[in-house]
Amino acid sequence: MRYPKSGWVLGVATVSAFLAFGVASWDANAAPSPKPTAAVEQPTVSHPDPGPAPSAGIGQDALTGNELARARTLAETATLKAGGKDVTGAAGVEYLSAGIAEDGAGRTAELYYYDYHGNRLVKQVVDLAGGKLAGSYAATGMQLPPSEREVRTALGLLLANPLAAELKNAYAKATGQAYTGQELTPTAHIYHALPADTGASQCGRNRCLRLIVQTQDGHILDLDKIIVDLSGRTVARLT
């Protein structure tokens, strides 16, 4: 059966119009599709308590608080304290620092003390697993970095000395205010006497500090020439 050519053309046009109308009607009546939204992460609450600190480290881990307390108990023997003096002049020795022995087997701690009576550095080696003192060594002329208590003691000795005038002058110059006992933050370096020193030639044999003092508003005071001899409890100015 043959269709007239004009009828075929008309049919195609009619179908196209119907489809166009249908699509337009669908677009007009269909509900708008919701916009995609990002997944919202649900809030979570973490527990603020990290739990108890481990009582013992492993391998070369730093000493835990419990290990350090135990090591000091084992290291600070009556023999160590006998005849010694700490930085304040009281009987005993001054605790400086502690750490794990690099070449030790197991958990072996090395604790360092300074005996101000004999001007000597003492190392106590503690076997934490065995719970015993494994060795004790002493040497003169060796100086480790100062403890916080030593630094504070050095600042106190300076403030009680006539050379405190230099600190007060440095404070006034740096801040524009007179020093009347404001809080200061000290740090310090160990000082070893140089061949040309005329004010602190004993430093190296004695335990001496060169203070670095900071004011509350961040100024660093120039005290480079002031040396505090903790062993002799004296203060000197380098010349």
Q: What is the CATH number of the domain that holds 74?
A: 3.10.450.40
- Mean pLDDT per 10-residue interval, the chain, length 239 residues: 36 36 37 48 58 62 93 98 96 97 85 97 96 97 97 98 98 96 97 89 96 97 96 95
**170 and 209, same domain (yes or no):** yes
**170 and 220, same domain (yes or no):** yes
**189 and 132, same domain (yes or no):** no
Range of the domain at 101: 65-140
Is the CB of residue 71 less than 8 Å from the CB of residue 135? no
Determine the angle formed by the axes of helices 148-159 and 164-175, rounding to 10 degrees.
Answer: 100
The H or E element containing residue 92 is none
Cβ-based neighbours of 218, under 8 Å, separated by 6 or more = none
Residue after which a domain boundary falls, among 123, 140, 157: 140
**185 and 133, same domain (yes or no):** no
What is the DSSP code (8-state) at residue 77? -
The Cα 107–Cα 178 span in angstroms is 52
> What integer pLDDT is reported at residue 197 of this predicted model?
82
Strand, coil or helix: 56? coil
**Is 118 a member of any domain?**
yes
> What integer pLDDT is reported at residue 102 of this predicted model?
87
